Structures are given as structure tokens and as C-alpha cells.
Amino acid sequence: MYPTEKVTVPTRVIGLISGTSVDGIDAALVEISGQELDLKVELVAGATYPYPAELREKILRVCAGEAISMTELAEIDDAIAFFFAEAAQNIQIGHQPATLIGSHGQTVYHRPPKGAEEKEKNFNSLLRTQNSGLRTPLGYTLQLGRGALIAHLTGITTVSNFRVADIAIGGHGAPLVPRVDAYLLSHPQEARCIQNIGGIGNVAYIPLRRDNWLEKMRGWDTGPGNSLLDLAVQHLSNGAQTYDENGQWAATGTPCHPLVEQWLTQDYFQLPPPKSTGRELFGVTYLQECLQAAEAYQLSPADILATLTELTAASIVHSYRTFLPQLPDRILLCGGGSRNLYLKQRLQSLLPSVPVLTTDEVGLSADFKEAIAFAVLAYWRQLGIPGNLPSATGAPQEVLLGEIHPSQY
């Protein structure tokens, strides 16, 4: 454990994040008290602020690997920071002001570490590998929306760039929320899976809160969440829709199970945790491959959406059955996909013995849980408390997460 820094502990914190769906900026204004086992969080206000359409399209093109100039990248970085700062200012209207911001920023690129045998090398080995001119096994991640600029524009100390410290020591830098889930959602009498469904799905498995329970936790990215669904909706509607509200369109179709079984043979689903992924894998190119494979089955647009929804549900269940020590007693959904009623029904159908609920039903907002988590991670950074969970990210040790940008006001 790191020594506690002598800082003024903030109690009102803003968490900001835009996920891989690039729907907009989720902002959560929260009251935080305690530290770890005594951690308490109260959501004061939560809102989602959509990106301007032009900026969203630029972000999605960058995520899809489109080549742009450094000038264009800098302009997008600035624009994201401005809109994050604006979200932080707007969420405080009518409330007592915050003293700290935790900003995840906007992920535009994520490269997991290389093979498991390389990830086990220690840091000195990595340095020797670098000096020999060979490629290192380290991952890489890029979140836009400069924390220093957010701090300047809001006048509030801002913590940002949370993922890089974990990656620097050989971890994936993802998922980062499991440690927060552990202290907010663990239970002494039931094991839980906290399943976030954003653009990408990720899970935190929390065993019974007993001796050494934190060491037994697991977490990883399960695969596509809404990413393929949203892309497919845009494609099938010729741009008229950006997502399938409540899964209503998909619910009118019939899943093609042989196609789902074919897709589940993809290498990522077989890779043991810790593991992470993003739009670099489950993006436009992957969707095109899925659509091409679907041609042999002559599926309707609704059937295609039902089948892609089934892939999200089936990949989650495959992860649980393959990599968990046992199935959980309860599944708690969060993120935008938790509002997709058809997806929720398919998950429940595939795991009939395990109740599938949302984190709302245990007192933590499903819509803003990720934003709340980055508020907590910023709070922990100020206290000198590590934020990563090595059993989830694959890092060899706990580290402090985030770079602190003091307000100049």
C-alpha cells in the first residue's frame, strides 16, 4: 500500500467519460467519503452531453484507423477537452461546486500487450528488449481530451490519463473499474458479475466478500457490447438511426445460431484473461466480415441485428462459462447496453439459473456507473491509493493511476 499523501480530501468530485460507443460525455457529480472498505458514494447529478455530430464523426473515423495529420489530431484533442470542460461546468449548475475532476477522456486507440509469455517479463527485461532494438511486449493506449486544459478551463484540479501507469508496468490498462466495483458492489453472501455493456463489454467478477476476496477477483473485456450493433444499425438504416433503442428492431428478428457459433471461434474469445480489446478489433472491418458471412443465410436486417445481439450475449456467457471459477449468484448490468431490453432478455435466457438485473436495483446508477468510477479513481489518486486491480489488468503490482493537473485559479 502506498503512503497516504497529505492533501485536502475532496468530497465532491466530477467523473467524466466517453466510451467506445462515442455517444457523448457521461458526467457524474458525486459526494465521496471513506477510502476503500468504508467507501461511500452518493450521486448528486448525472447527465449525458452529446458530442456535436461533426466532432463525433471525426472521432469515429480516427477510431476506425483513418490517417489524419498531427494538426487535425491536435484540433480533435482540443475540441474533446473543451466539451469535457463544458460538461463539468454544466453538471454543477444548481449544486455546490466540485473540488476535483476525474476525466477518462475519449479512447481513440488501444493496443493490448503482446503474448502471455512476453507479458511475464519484468521491467528490467523490457528495458533490455528496448535497448536491443526489438519490439517490446508493452501495450499502448490513447485517450484524447487533455486534463491540463480541462483544469484550466474549469478552475478545478483534474486527474486524467488513468490507463498509462498500469500499461507502463506491463498491464492492459483495462478494465480499470473492477477495483471500484469491489468496494461498492461486493456482497458477503453472493458472488456477483458486474457486466458493463458499452461499445465494448467488460466484466468484474466479485467473489463472496470474505478472506482474501480481493485477490480472487477477476476482470476482463468480454468482447463487443454495442459497437457492432450501433455500426450495423447505421449501415442497415442508411444513417437514419445510430442505435437500436431498447433492442426493438432486433427483437423482431430471429438469431442465426450457426452464425453465432461460427463467430465465437474468433481468437479473442478463446484468449484467457487478463485481456482487453476495442474498436481496433470489433469495429467497421469486423462488421463487414460479419455481414459477408451472413449473406450465405439470406438474413433480413432484423435477423442480422438479432444475430449480432446474440453474439454480444453469447460472448458474455462464453466468457463466464470458460474463465470463471463458477457462475455468479447474480449478474448486475450497467452501461448503455443495460437499457437494451432484448439483449437483457437474451442474456437471461442463456443463463436461466442466474438473475440478470442492473446496478440500479442495488443502488448504483447503471447509466453513470463508469463516470462515478472515474470520480472515485481521481479521489483515490489524491489520497495516494492504488486504483488498478492486477488480477484484472494483468499488471504485476498495484499502482497509482492518473496524472494530476492542479487548477491555476
pLDDT surpassing 70 at residue 2: no
Average pLDDT score, the chain: 92
The reply to whether 161 and 222 lie within a common domain is no
Q: What is the pLDDT of residue 315?
A: 98
Q: What is the pLDDT of residue 136?
A: 57
The DSSP symbol for 198 reads S
How many whole angstroms separate alpha carbon 45 and alpha carbon 43?
6
Q: What is the pLDDT of residue 135?
A: 53
Q: Decide if 308 contacts 258 (C-beta within 8 A).
A: no
pLDDT surpassing 90 at residue 161: yes
The reply to whether 263 and 141 lie within a common domain is no
How many whole angstroms separate alpha carbon 64 and alpha carbon 73?
14
pLDDT surpassing 50 at residue 386: yes
pLDDT surpassing 50 at residue 121: no
pLDDT surpassing 50 at residue 118: no
pLDDT surpassing 50 at residue 83: yes
pLDDT band (50, 70, 90) for residue 304? very high
- Please report, for the domain that includes residue 97, its CATH number: 3.30.420.40
The reply to whether 268 and 327 lie within a common domain is yes
The reply to whether 162 and 252 lie within a common domain is no
The reply to whether 118 and 140 lie within a common domain is yes
pLDDT surpassing 50 at residue 250: yes
Is residue 1 in a domain?
no
Section 221-248 average pLDDT:
95
Residues 6+ apart with CB under 8 A from 320: 193, 203, 327, 328, 351
Section 248-265 average pLDDT:
97
Q: What percent of the chain has pLDDT over 90?
A: 88
Could you read off the pLDDT of 354-374 as tens digits, one per residue? 999 999 999 999 999 999 999
| Residue 356: its H or E element | strand 356-358
The reply to whether 153 and 249 lie within a common domain is no
The domain total for the chain is 2
156: Cα separation from own chain's centroid = 24
Residue with cell 447505421: 234
- The residue out of 362, 379, 395 marking a domain boundary is 362
The reply to whether 185 and 295 lie within a common domain is yes
Is residue 6 in a domain?
no
The reply to whether 20 and 165 lie within a common domain is yes
Q: What is the pLDDT of residue 392?
A: 95
The reply to whether 198 and 317 lie within a common domain is yes
Question: And the C-alpha cell for 388?
Answer: 488498478
Is residue 4 in a domain?
no
Is residue 7 in a domain?
no
pTM: 0.91
pLDDT band (50, 70, 90) for residue 124? very low
Is residue 2 in a domain?
no
Domain containing 82: what range?
Answer: 12-176+368-405
314 against 10, higher pLDDT: 314
How many whole angstroms separate alpha carbon 284 and alpha carbon 289?
9
- The residue out of 329, 345, 362 marking a domain boundary is 362
Residue with cell 474549469: 154
Length of the chain: 409
How many whole angstroms separate alpha carbon 374 and alpha carbon 160?
9
Could you read off the pLDDT of 11-42 as tens digits, one per residue? 899 999 998 889 899 999 999 999 999 999 99
Could you read off the pLDDT of 163-202 as tens digits, one per residue? 999 999 999 999 999 999 999 999 999 999 999 999 999 9
Buried/exposed code over 295-334 (b: 16+ C-beta within 10 A; e: otherwise)? eeeebebbbbbbbbbbbbbbbbbbbbeebbeeebebbbbb
Q: What is the pLDDT of residue 23?
A: 87
Section 332-340 average pLDDT:
96
Q: What is the pLDDT of residue 409?
A: 63
Q: What is the pLDDT of residue 20?
A: 85
Is residue 3 in a domain?
no
Q: What is the pLDDT of residue 3?
A: 45
The reply to whether 219 and 261 lie within a common domain is yes
Q: What are phi and psi of 200, to 5 degrees?
A: -115, 145
Q: What is the pLDDT of residue 114?
A: 82
Is residue 215 in a domain?
yes
The reply to whether 310 and 164 lie within a common domain is no
Buried/exposed code over 119-129 (b: 16+ C-beta within 10 A; e: otherwise)? bebeeeebeeb
The reply to whether 357 and 218 lie within a common domain is yes
